[in-house]
Structure 1
Amino acid sequence: MAGNTGKPGQSVAERVLAVLGAFDRGHRALTLTEIAHRADLPVPTAHRLVGELEKWGALTRRPDNAFVIGRRLWDLGLLAPIQSGIREVAAPFMQDLYAATLATVHLAVREGTQVLYVDRLSGRASVPVVSRVGSRLPLYATGVGKVLLAHAPDDVRRAVMSELRPITRHTIVAPGVLDKQLRQIRQQGYATTVEEMTLGACSVAVPVRNGDRVVAALGIVVPTLGRNRPTLVAAAQVAAQGVGRTLQDGALR
């Protein structure tokens, strides 16, 4: 009879999901022992499941024998309708925006109280950018995040306001100040940030609408805004309007 392979009554699927769930933003690389501990599984069981997941491509073993999430899981994630559909629609407009600005261009959606980056084109300027495709960052400290937060339901805004934390010395952490800024974003149609997420990086972002709904945000990251702000805002708005028109034509339901 086989030995203990996990919690009593736990299915194979639950154990596999526990292994994958061991990874998060704070634990991007884990050893086999760490995976077993975080998944609450015996090491032999974790070893078998990790081996099968590695063979399938869900996990990848690094040279130091730590495991990271594999490309195949990311490929599956891109099949989610909101991500795959809007990425495909937005791609040519992002290319146009990059050509017009030569800046880093982001496409993002809201996921709970965070902003999820679903596409990115890297600009030519040397600007510290912490976002990556698939990464999640705070809504309140990023340009695309502020746009999405400004148009989020009241309960989402309240939840974000209750957990404001400084990321740089420029991060807005006063709820009243942030709330006023969100009202301005809704009125003027764009958001800006100045070194609020990363020192040395500023951003402009605008909403992408599908009819009356804000479904995503387009953002540009630059070293400084200065006199270029109106030009950057205008370029981003033209691109966002193009995405919105395509969405309304039925590219994304």
Structure 2
Amino acid sequence: MAHESGGEGAPVAATRPASPAVDRALTVLETLVGTEGGLTLTALARATGIPLATCASIVYTLEKRGYASRLVVGRSHFWRVTLRLYELAAPLIRQEDISEVAEPQLRLLADKLRMPAHVGVLNGASVVYVAKATSPGFIQFDTYPGKAVPFNSTALGRVIAAHLPDAQLEPLLTGRTTPRVFRSQLAKVRQLGYAVEDEEDETDVACLAAPFFDAQGRVAGSVGVTGFTRELAGAGLDTAADLVVRQAKQISVKLGCLSGNRF
């Protein structure tokens, strides 16, 4: 008779889930997603084959976390999922879509400015590089899709922060010693339309980034280039800023943001 090993990383029998509790919760969630109008607890227990008391515990937890709601009709309670599920998945969908949508603009920036170009999105207090177009030449910079850095240390992150509503910006300022000064810096970034990071992360390296917006007019991420400080100064800065801002606007339009709403 075969026995399962309890050691870490040991295979688990295919006939039984590694975590029955998680399996039941996902079964309830999937069943509710696939049902129009909602289900009573009795109907949900019957549809999933899960005991009524367990179903009740699961849907009450989902309700508390915002993933389910109930509609009371007479003495019956009908449970259904909420758009919280979409909210949970949206950042992943958006990152995937943005990488594809922005690819032509990234390629143009890298080729025209001969600098690597990047797309960044905000994830908590970090900005994550989700796409990159390399530049011609032997010198490359330590940037790659998946790299995460504090939002305030990069042009990509700061230009996103500059366009966040106050409710989203406030948590990012918690713990900062000079939040008023930082807010003032972000106001200047918002006025310029782009942010510059000059030798703040690495000596003789500078970055420039501009924001792009989604169909609801919310900042969805940023696009920028990385080069040597001498390349992003004077006339070089003006040229790069103009091109990066224009390409950011193109990405916004592709994401459904009407130019008249934001620019």
Tell whether the structures are fold-level matches, with TM greater than 0.5.
yes
Alignment of 1:153-172 (within 5 A): 153-163=165-175
Q: After superposition, what is the alpha-carbon deviation per residue over 1:86-129, rounded to whole angstroms, capped at 9, x for unaligned?
A: 11111011111112101110101111111011001223467673
Structure 2 residue 105 is matched with structure 1 residue 99? no
CA distance in 2, matches of 1:183, 1:233: 17
- Residue-pair matches, total: 176
* Structure 2 SS opposite 1:207: strand
Q: Give ranges in structure 1 of 5+ residues lacking alignment.
A: 15-76, 165-172
> 1:14-49, CA deviations, whole angstroms, 9 ceiling, x for partnerless residues?
9xxxxxxxxxxxxxxxxxxxxxxxxxxxxxxxxxxx
Q: Distance in 2 between matches of 1:134 and 1:249?
A: 26
Partner of 2:233: 226
Shift of 1:203: 0.9
In our comparison, the structure showing a higher alpha carbon Rg is 2
Identify which of 216, 219, 227 aligns with 1:214. 219
- How far, CA to CA, are the matches of 1:89 and 1:216 in structure 2? 12
Q: What is the match of residue 36 of structure 2? A: none
Does the CA contact (< 8 Å) of 2:158 and 2:195 recur in 1?
yes
SS class of match (1:12): coil
2:191 is matched with 187
Structure 2 residue 112 is the aligned partner of structure 1 residue 108: no
Kindly, what percent of the aligned residue pairs are identical?
A: 25
Is residue 115–residue 226 contact of structure 2 (8 Å, CA) maintained in 1? yes
Describe the shift of the 1:125–1:150 C-alpha distance in structure 2 as closer, same or farther (beyond 3 A): farther
Give the TM-score normalised by structure 1. Answer: 0.61
State yes or no: 1:80 paired with 2:85. Answer: no
CA RMSD of aligned residues (A): 2.9
Q: Give structure 2 stretches of 5+ with no counterpart.
A: 9-16, 21-88, 259-263
Residues 129 and 201, structure 1, Cα contact 8 Å, conserved in 2: no
User: 2-side partners of 1:200 and 1:119: how far apart?
Assistant: 23
1:130-141 aligned within 5 A: 130-141=142-153
How far apart, CA to CA, are the structure 2 residues paired with 1:127 and 1:197? 17
Superposition TM-score, scaled by structure 2 size: 0.59
